[in-house]
Amino acid sequence: MKGKGATRLKSSKESSGLLFNWVKPVSIGVTVLSLMFAVVILILQVANKDIKNLEIIAAFQYMTESDIKSELIGDFPNGYISLDVQKIHERLISIPMIAEVSVEKVWPDTLRITVQEERPVAIWNDSSLLSQAGDILPVSFESLNLPKLKGAKKDSRLVMQHYLLFNRWSKRHSLSLVGITKSTSGWLIESKSGLKIWLDGADAMSGLKQLESVIEQFQLARISSIDLRYEQGFAVAWKTEPENVQG
């Protein structure tokens, strides 16, 4: 009986020793992890210093710094790590008058925003402006000396594309383009000299190519309008002669 009791006591001590040997490294590991976590938290607290300085780089013509700052409400100021520059970039680039924008954090406490405004190139339907990409810009056009483009709202990009093509053609012939209109009647090009050119709505450029081949034969200063919407030839209206001349 004594022998059996001694055996049980020895077995209990061995079990306690094994448990202690297992718990000790776990405890050390937990302690090390806790220290590492505390260090990381401390580093984050130091690195996440508040960004309070705002640096806006832009040559504003249609917008102001206040417009930019109003878009940052709720996101700025914030901590260096907490501040989401991608979110700010997405909010700013969605503004119609902004063409390009870069947003960056500058250590230790500055947010730098570089803005490039859209450049209006034409007045759209006498009520707004168009960018070179054909986007409608909600900006006042008063006192702006820009060509006037007209058409359906959904066609703003198409009209701008044709304006760029027509404008290059006009410059080659020393014509200053002041407006174009897209309607069910076709394309109407208007120049500063008063010359009006009508083109087919479905194939405007072929009409200009046709005119290109004979334009040197005309004194454009004497012409009031040229209509190229005919299947064969074209019609010319002269400023000094009331009749149309079939081309």
Looking at residue 5, its pLDDT comes to 47
Distance separating alpha carbons of residues 150 and 169, to the nearest angstrom? 19
Looking at residue 37, its pLDDT comes to 58
- 141 CB neighbour count, 10 Å cutoff: 18
| Three-class SS state of 131 | coil
Per-residue pLDDT of the chain (247 residues; tens, 9 = 90+): 445 444 454 555 555 555 455 555 656 666 667 666 555 555 555 566 888 899 999 999 888 999 999 999 999 998 888 899 999 999 999 998 999 999 999 988 999 999 999 989 999 998 889 999 999 987 776 778 899 999 999 999 999 999 999 999 999 888 999 999 999 999 999 999 999 999 999 889 889 988 888 888 888 888 999 999 988 888 999 886 544 444 4
